């Protein structure tokens, strides 16, 4: 084998230095061990960095109890009543594994992916030293696939998020996680691309792409650079075959830090809104609008109370930058908008008839478009309410999601329900529903909902 390798090297006529290097590597592989030093120089190793990093990366275990019907006729009320089927279904426990990163040792905060803990009844965290602790749910954000959980433990290591945004394509990175439940595993690669988007199911997308091997179970784990800095949270892979093909994605540390701050403070992410609809700037629109800019977001429609409208912008304007950050299209604008702090103002640069202009725009929440139940009434804790889509004729408020084991879940509310009445008074919109609160806590709330075309009454005590 050694002679064959040497023959192939000679055929390629490599330079003497390259030839010597390759021969040295081959010789070392035959000895099945890398020496501690070559020509008196230490061999490069990631071990010193990983010794500092790995104690902060944890394994996340979840358990979810799923009801199992004992008969296919259980959902039919006629058969259930006629044959007197038992009313209590059996349960099956589903278990899943993922990863997480301790980013605040003092408070025990662990950052992970929302899909790792979503719907779980029990969450546990196993540390690198073998200790295992139950975890408390703090908050999650489905739109960025991030979640924060908390453990009560001493002598924790931490790996703070690096928000410097100095990461570049070609930088070496290392992924640390718990693939396939094997335990802590380290893989290395480079940053293949920045600002990737196009993954299904996520509203805000600005991923780091890497060829460091990421597999099921790595989700929520750490992506670090060679300084040992936490630059991203591993979240997804592109896999036509189900296995790793060298295309993995991580959420940038800056995004993770912004989301985590709000989850810890509010239990949810409170986002501002420009109140605008946009589309990508393409060649046809460039000619029609008379602009030379290659990229941007073209305003197609502004809401009546849009912050951009009040700042003087109108349909046909092309947004090219926000606070100095370039806007490369509709999704780029959406990503920036989702991370702006409510209550602040930003500078929006835009083009109109070829001339560059700017405006100061305040960032405010659109509570008539989206609001959490907890902000209306503690008894509705755990659900997210959104405006009904314009394409539907049904009036009311759409329940976008309901967290398991929350008061809303216990009351029987589920994602996809439509609230059509509150205390027997019709609900026409989210804005009208919101104005009905607060409701005295000593009086039960009665919600009338529609679920798959069927009406139900739900009482919140």
Whole-angstrom distance, CA of residue 26 vs CA of residue 58: 36
- DSSP-derived 3-state class of residue 44: coil
* CB atoms near residue 270 (< 10 Å): 16
pLDDT of residue 74: 52
* Mean predicted confidence (pLDDT) in 35-48: 73
Answer yes or no: is pLDDT of 56 > 50: yes
pLDDT of residue 446: 93
* Mean predicted confidence (pLDDT) in 162-186: 89
Residues contacting 155, CB < 8 A, separation 6+? none
Band the pLDDT of 83: cuts 50, 70, 90.
low
Answer yes or no: is pLDDT of 77 > 70: no
For the ranges 21-35, 166-180, 394-408, the lowest mean pLDDT is seen at 21-35
* 328 labelled catalytic: no
Q: For every residue of 180-200, which 3-state class applies, written as one string? A: HHCCCEEEEEEEEEEEECCCC
- 276-362 and 370-460 share one fold: yes
pLDDT of residue 216: 83
Q: For 336-366, write each residue's pLDDT tens digit.
A: 888 888 888 999 999 998 889 999 999 888 8
pLDDT of residue 338: 83
The residue ranges of every structural domain in the chain are: 2-41, 45-266, 276-362, 370-460
For the ranges 85-99, 154-168, 296-310, 441-455, the lowest mean pLDDT is seen at 85-99
For the ranges 70-84, 239-253, 284-298, 368-382, the lowest mean pLDDT is seen at 70-84
Say what percent of the chain tops pLDDT 70. 84
CA dihedral 118, 119, 121, 125 (to 10 degrees): -10
Could you say which of 213, 219, 273, 372 is catalytic?
219
H-type helices in 296-390, by residue range? Answer: 307-310, 330-337
Band the pLDDT of 237: cuts 50, 70, 90.
confident
Residues contacting 387, CB < 8 A, separation 6+? 368, 369, 370, 397, 398, 429, 430
Band the pLDDT of 200: cuts 50, 70, 90.
confident
* CB atoms near residue 353 (< 10 Å): 10
Q: Omega before 299 cis (within 30°)?
A: no
* Mean predicted confidence (pLDDT) in 4-20: 42
Supply the CATH classification number for the domain 45-266. 2.40.10.120
Contact 132, 125 (CB under 8 A): yes
Band the pLDDT of 21: cuts 50, 70, 90.
very low
Alpha carbon of 331 to those of 38, 257, 296, 334: distances in Å?
A: 50, 20, 10, 5
Strand segments, DSSP code E, in 292-444 are 297-302, 318-322, 325-326, 345-352, 355-362, 370-372, 383-387, 397-402, 418-422, 425-426
pLDDT of residue 314: 92
* 225 labelled catalytic: no
* Mean predicted confidence (pLDDT) in 413-418: 94
Q: Which CATH class is domain 370-460?
A: mainly beta
Could you say which of 115, 225, 258, 349 is catalytic?
115
Backbone phi and psi for residue 159, each to the nearest 5 degrees, phi listed first: -135, 90
Band the pLDDT of 26: cuts 50, 70, 90.
very low
* 145 labelled catalytic: yes
For the ranges 57-61, 178-182, 320-324, 371-375, the lowest mean pLDDT is seen at 178-182
Backbone phi and psi for residue 217, each to the nearest 5 degrees, phi listed first: 105, -20
Whole-angstrom distance, CA of residue 297 vs CA of residue 279: 6
Could you say which of 145, 162, 211, 317 is catalytic?
145
For the ranges 124-138, 306-320, 432-446, the lowest mean pLDDT is seen at 432-446
* Mean predicted confidence (pLDDT) in 358-387: 91
Average pLDDT across the chain, whole number: 84
| CATH 3.40.50.1110, applies to 276-362 | no
* Mean predicted confidence (pLDDT) in 74-81: 52
- The helix/strand count (H/E) of the chain reads as 11, 27
Whole-angstrom distance, CA of residue 338 vs CA of residue 329: 14
């Amino acid at each position: 084998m050694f002679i064959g390798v040497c023959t192939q090297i000679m055929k390629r006529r490599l330079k003497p230095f390259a030839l010597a290097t390759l021969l040295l590597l081959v010789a070392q592989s035959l000895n099945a061990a890398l020496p501690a030093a070559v020509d008196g120089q230490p061999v490069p190793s990631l071990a010193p960095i990983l010794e500092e990093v790995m104690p902060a990366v944890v394994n996340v275990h979840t358990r979810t109890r799923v009801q199992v019907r004992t008969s296919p006729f259980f959902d039919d009320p006629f058969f259930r009543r006629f044959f007197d089927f038992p009313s209590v279904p059996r349960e099956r426990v589903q278990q899943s594994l993922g990863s997480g990163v301790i980013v605040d040792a003092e408070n025990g905060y662990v950052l992970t992916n929302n899909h790792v803990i979503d719907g779980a009844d029990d969450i546990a965290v196993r540390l690198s030293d073998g200790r295992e602790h139950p975890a408390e749910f703090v908050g999650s954000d489905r739109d960025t696939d991030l979640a924060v959980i908390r453990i009560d433990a001493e002598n924790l290591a931490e790996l703070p998020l690096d928000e410097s945004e100095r990461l570049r394509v070609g930088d070496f990175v290392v992924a640390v996680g718990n693939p396939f439940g094997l335990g802590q595993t380290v893989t290395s690669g480079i940053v293949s691309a920045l600002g990737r988007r196009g993954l299904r199911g996520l509203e805000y997308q600005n991923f780091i792409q890497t060829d460091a091997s990421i597999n099921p179970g790595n989700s929520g784990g750490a992506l670090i650079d060679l300084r040992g800095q936490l630059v991203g949270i591993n979240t997804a892979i592109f896999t036509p075959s189900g296995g790793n093909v060298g295309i993995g994605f991580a959420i940038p540390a800056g995004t993770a830090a912004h989301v985590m701050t709000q989850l810890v403070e509010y239990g949810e992410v409170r986002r501002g809104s420009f109140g605008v609809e946009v589309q990508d700037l393409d060649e046809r629109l460039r000619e029609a609008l008379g602009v030379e800019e290659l990229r941007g977001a073209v305003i197609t429609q502004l809401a009546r109370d849009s912050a951009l409208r009040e700042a003087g912008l109108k349909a046909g304007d092309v947004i090219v930058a926000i606070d100095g950050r370039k806007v490369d299209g509709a999704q780029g604008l959406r990503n920036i908008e989702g991370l702006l702090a409510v209550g602040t103002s930003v500078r929006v640069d835009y083009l109109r008839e070829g001339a560059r202009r700017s405006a100061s725009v305040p960032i405010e929440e659109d509570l008539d478009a989206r609001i959490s139940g907890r902000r209306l009434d503690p008894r509705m804790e755990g659900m997210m309410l959104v405006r009904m889509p314009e394409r539907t004729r049904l009036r009311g408020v759409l329940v976008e999601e309901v967290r398991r084991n929350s008061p809303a879940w216990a009351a029987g509310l589920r994602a996809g329900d439509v609230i059509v009445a509150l205390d027997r008074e019709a609900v026409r919109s989210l804005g009208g529903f919101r104005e009905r609160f607060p409701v005295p806590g000593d009086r039960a709330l009665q919600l009338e909902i529609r679920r798959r075309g069927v009406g139900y009454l739900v009482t919140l005590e």
